[in-house]
Structure formats: C-alpha cells, structure tokens
Chain A
Amino acid sequence: MIDTAPAVRKAPGRKAPSGRARRPRRRRTGRRHGPYLLIAPTVVVIAVLMFWPVVQLGIMSFQKVGNRQLRGEPAENVGTANFEAILGDPFFWQTLRQTVLFAIVAVSATLVLGTLTGLLLNRLGRRMSRFVAGGVMVAWATPPVTAAIIFSWLFGTTGGLVNWFLDLLPDALVGGGWSDFNWFASPLPTYTVLTVCVVWQSCPFVAVSVLAGLKSLPGELYEAARVDGAGPWRAFWKITFPLLKPIFMVLVVMSVIWDFKVFTQLFIMAGMANRDAFNLSLYAYSEAFGSLNPKLGMGSAIALVLTAILLVVTAVYVRVMVRQGETE
C-alpha cells in the first residue's frame, strides 16, 4: 500500500516532461509490482474459477468423456470428431439460428425500452422517479428461475392470466380460441414469451445506466438546443446519444453476451421435450447432462463454439465502435 500511493499521485503529471525526467529516481520495484499486487487477488480468483474451467472445457471438447471417465478412467482422445459431429448436424445450425435471431431481437428491444425508461426516469419528479426506479429494480432483482416460473404461469393453458385476458378481448381484435392456446408448443410463441421475460428483466439495468449517464450531462446543452428549436427527438440523437456513446457501447456488448447465453428461462419454459425450440445453451446442456449417458465432450465442444462466437461478436463490435470514436 505504501508503494502504490506515490505511483497513483504521479499519474496526472505523466505528460509533463519534468515528471518523465524524474521518474527513474523513484523506487522502481515498488512502481512495477504495486499495481500487479493490487489486482493479484482478483486475477487468482478469476483464474481458479474461470480460466481453469475454460481450459478444461477446451481439453474436454477434443475427448470422449462419459461417466466412466468421470470415475477416473483416462479419457479417449477423439481429435476434432466432436466438432465435426456438431458442424455436420443440421440441428446445430437450427439452434444457432434461433440463438442469433433471439439475441438480435432481445438486445434491440432491451436497449430501446431501457433507454426510454431511463429518459423517463430523468424527467420525472424526485418522488415519482424513485417510485418507478424501485419498481424497475424489482424486475432486475428477480432471479431468472422465479421470473421464468412466473411467466410460464402467466402464459399457461389452465388458469393462465394472459390467455384469460386475450379471451376477454373482442374476437375482432385478437381472434378467438385463446383460452387453450399453448404458448410453448412451437418455437415462435415460445420465443415471444421468452423475449418478453428476458427483456423485462434486463431493461432495468440499461435504464439505470442511461439514467446515470444523463445525470452527468450539462443542462446548458439542452437549453441551447431548445433555443435553437430542436425537439426531443433531435436533442436525443444530436446530444444525448453522441455523449453517452461509450455507455451504449458497453450496454450493447453486455446485452449481446447475456442474451446469447440465455438458458434458465428457456429450460423452464420449454424444457427438454421441445427440441425445436432449443438454443445453443440448451443443446449443449442436453448433450452434456441430458441423460445418464453424459457426453461431456460433445457438450464442451458446443459450449466452446458458443464462446468463440461471443468473442468474435464482441471483438468486432468493440473495434467498430473504437474506430468510429477515432474518426469523429
């Protein structure tokens, strides 16, 4: 701790030539190790809990791992057979397509609704704002399992609130026969419910992040815009969005990652008996843990493909955003 204090205090002066000249005279070891010592505990925890399992996942994806191997028999190396099996299976491409489409729809909806909620929170009076923020945070705090069960009850066939309500509405508006409509029988309705559930839970985070950003913006800019005759739509795109771009960038990347790996909600709503509604996570789970004959190698391979896709998406996106930031 003693070593790090001067290092931190030094930072602002780094650009000044005098600062640079003086640097070699400081205790070198302290400056070199201090920051690393500070992050070491975090790195160790992440390494043990994240990196090592990922490494194991990577190894297992090239092996055949079942219960016998779990009991300690050496795992047989199968080379790229697992990946060949997956990539040659049309079912994999179906789950991949569903995963990607869901992510696109859910991320867009989350960001739009979350931003609108954030803007609303910013304009509300103090009391009302707190009230709405409280309500929004309840959705954020609800565990995914609870939310999924609540939504599958809401959309259930016997006594489900949504079907009951749709049935009450005039037939000319929504059509008839809602009382027994099975929301989880085919992929499209299943994903509709899933999207509503996931967006409901994830837009509070976007709302609160956007709100935090809005609070930091200077009010004069908006005053000037209003004087110049800009409406709220224009003010948002010309002032708010450019200034909050870094926040939006982070939110998009995080939402993409979250929505790509949605598992709990779909598992509870559709389960193992509806393979046509599988996404990549459910596909990996059904291979790895679905039966008493686990195929952990296959499951790992699918999970690895999912991870690779996420890394590529994130990398491309960050690159594009950073480039845009540079050119502007």
Chain B
Amino acid sequence: MKYIKAAAATAALALAAAACGGGSDDSDGAGQSPAQLKVWMMGDGTPEQTEFLEGVEAEFKQKHPNTDVVVKYVPWPQVATTFQKAAAGGEGPDVTELGNTDVQSHIEQGSLADITDRFESWADHDKLNKTALENDRSGGKTYAVPWYGGVRAVWYRKDWFEELNIQPPKNWAELTAAAKKIQDAKKVPGIGAPSDQTNALLSFIWGNGGEVAVKENGKFVGKLDQPQAVEAIEYYTGLVTKEKVAPAKYIGKNELEGPQRDFALGKLGMYIDGSWALKEMKKISDKDADKWGVFPIPAKNGGNAPVMAGGSDLAVWADSKAKDAAFDYITVLNNAKNAKAWADYSGFSSMRSDVSFSNPALAAFTEIARNTKFPPMSAGWGEFEQAKKVLPNAVKAIMQGRPAAEELKKANEQANTLLNP
C-alpha cells in the first residue's frame, strides 16, 4: 500500500509540475507563433474544402511562418460528443467552427475565449452581419465571429410549374393549391413536410406573426400556445393530415431522410431546404438538375416569411495556448477574398456585407437572406431542440392525430423550463 501511495503522490507531483510548466510558458500566447495551430471544421470535409483551407493556411503562414495548421473535420452528428470530449480531456482545438445555434450554449459553459478586444481592433469587424454578431455576444462581450449563413427556401420543379401553369406561391393557400395540382397531375406527393425540420417550421410560425419564445423581464416566455403559432403548426401538419398533399412517410424524419432524395429523383413535387442542397441533390441524380428552382417560403397572407439564419461561426477555444495566432487565423479565413471563395464553393452566404455569390442560380437565396430571424438565443435551445426535440415530437404527434392545442400547450411548458436553464 505504501508503495502505491508513494507512486501516486509522485505521479501527482509530476503532473502538477508539468501543468505549471505548460502554463507559465505561454499564459496567453500573446504575439507568439505556436508550433501547431489546431483548427476544427464541422462536417465531413471534401477535397475542395481541404484545398481551400490549404490556401488559407498559406496566407496565414505569411504572418506565422513557423506554425503548422492542422485541420480536423468533425461530422455534424458527432459534434456534441466531440466537444464534450474536448472539455473533459483538454484536447480541444485552438480555432473552431461552431453551429450558430450552439454558440450561446458554448458561451454559457465557458468553453470559448473572450475575444472582445481582438475583435474590436480587427479592421473588418464592422463588415459583419449585425444580427448574426448579436448571437455571438453575451454580457457585452464577444465570443465568436459570424462566418457563413444558410437560409432555406422551397425547391420546386420549374418544368412542372410551367406545364401546369402554376405561379410560385405567394401565400399559404397558393402553396397548398400548387401542391395539390402537382399531386393530381404528376402522381407524386405535392410537398414534403417532415416532422423533424424545425428550421423550416420556424418560417411558418414567424410568417404568421408567431414566436417560439420571447424574452420578457430577462426570462424566456413560451409563445407556442398562442393562436399565431398554433395556426401555423396546424397549417404545416395539416399538409399531411387535412390537405393530404404531403405524405405520411416523412413523419419522424428530417429533410435528408427522404424528401431530398425523393425530390432529386423526381418523386416529390416540392420540399424545403437550403442552397447547399443543390450540391447534394446533384450527387443523387443530376438528370433534372437544370429544372430545379427555388422560391421563398411564403407567409400566410403573402410576402416572404422570415427564415431561420442557420450557419456557422468561428471562435477561439478557451483552453487555447495561442489565442492571438488563433484569432489571426480567423481574420485570414474570413477576409474578403477567402469569404468569397468559400461562398462560391459551399453555396452558403457569407456573413460579410461586402461579399455575395458569383453564381446567378443562387441569387434567389441572397434575396431571401435579407429577411432572417433567430430562434431564442438561449443556452437552453440545444436541450430544447437537440436533446428533447420538443417541436419535432409535438409536430409528429399532431400529424398522427393528437389535438394541436394540447400538444403545443405541453411543448410550451417545456419551452418555459428548458429555455431558462
């Protein structure tokens, strides 16, 4: 026993010494070039993305010639567990991409470095989208930088609309009518309305003047039981249950588990997805690719519904030993030239006001992106939307015949508790 104790004590001392040593070497890494800069990118990564990032690295090396940039791709489904491991094991990145709905959770957990001063002294800091930047702030401090954003719209078949003499729908009634016409003439479901697609559902709620929750006196108060939200969700679920223009086979699924594939194969009239879907659908089948078009998600009484500004931000990890170099990397990755190259490759809109798409086919998305909105900026949104999937499960239950008012009352109670962690 004595030996074990002695060994444990020695080990502990050694560890402590090592930790101290590491700390005193570069407490904040001010003005230094580390040997290695770890960059985490979300998603599976592609050869094109790697090539783009190599260009960024070359540019970054002009200032930090001795720093080796190591990029790691984290697939989206593994994001939560990978960040948990990073927090537990201390093996985190220096710079990381973050899904914008996760930023508030990260700030609340203390995993992001405060970059307020560095951000303010960056020459381009006033070029960034103000709404998106708001989501990166907490308590007057800045923790992340908006990088790119994506908005959703309704994908449709231009040839079918022309043949059946349908105009792109401007309100809900026209959307239903268009779906019905396609369904009758083409013998395919008119529109896809999966239950697990909160980002699209939000546009219907907002397009009817409703909200998920709003901040009142510093607390989030759920608004899902209000008539505007109830009516919007009844419309969305009614596409399946009442109008029968959306198939029941997408209940319990998201837009990638059926609708995207079916639309690309010509087995679905319309479905809601973002600009990035074009690339993916071409992989499934590019036979009809030139016949695909998009129109904005309509509001109930006409006009474009506000769309959820999904997207990604860039942040410096709290445990990084080289925060200055890390921020330098962000400024290179998100300078005007690289932001444009990235937007053109990825199909996502840049969050810089001075950058737009080169491809005219995606111009519609630039227009749609003018009217964006955020879900409640609460650290509890992750729990509400990812762990408990409150809205998807409520929508599913309603699509399977449960009364909407009752389900949304329950969902609203959960919003009241979960969004105020």
Contacts and interface: CB of A to CB of B under 8 A. Distances in A.
Contacts of A158: 258, 261-262, 265, 267
Contacts of A294: 80, 84
Interface stretch (B61-69, B132-140, B215-223, B380-388): B380-388
B73 to A, nearest CB: 18
B247 A180 contact: yes
A240 interface: no
Given A66-B109, A67-B87, A273 B252 contact: yes
A185 interface: yes
B106 interface: yes
A71 B267 contact: no
B183 to A, nearest CB: 13
Given A66-B109, A67-B87, A70-B84, A180 B249 contact: yes
A287 interface: yes
B396 A291 contact: no
B258 A290 contact: no
A290 B387 CA distance: 4
Contacts of A186: 400
A163 to B, nearest CB: 9
Contacts of A184: 252-253
A192 interface: no
Contacts of A80: none
Interface size classification for chain A: 20 to 34
Contacts of A157: 249, 258
A291 B252 contact: no
Nearest to B109: A67
Contact of A182 (B248, B267, B397, B421): B248
A282 to B, nearest CB: 11
B389 A272 contact: yes
B88 A70 contact: yes
B248 A292 contact: no
8 cross-chain pairs, A with B, having the tightest CB-CB distances, nearest first: A290-B387, A291-B386, A273-B196, A291-B387, A291-B382, A70-B88, A157-B249, A67-B109
25 contacts: A67-B83, A67-B111, A68-B87, A71-B90, A71-B319, A157-B249, A180-B247, A181-B249, A182-B253, A185-B396, A270-B252, A272-B386, A273-B252, A273-B254, A273-B389, A274-B252, A289-B81, A289-B84, A290-B387, A290-B388, A291-B382, A291-B387, A292-B79, A292-B105, A292-B386
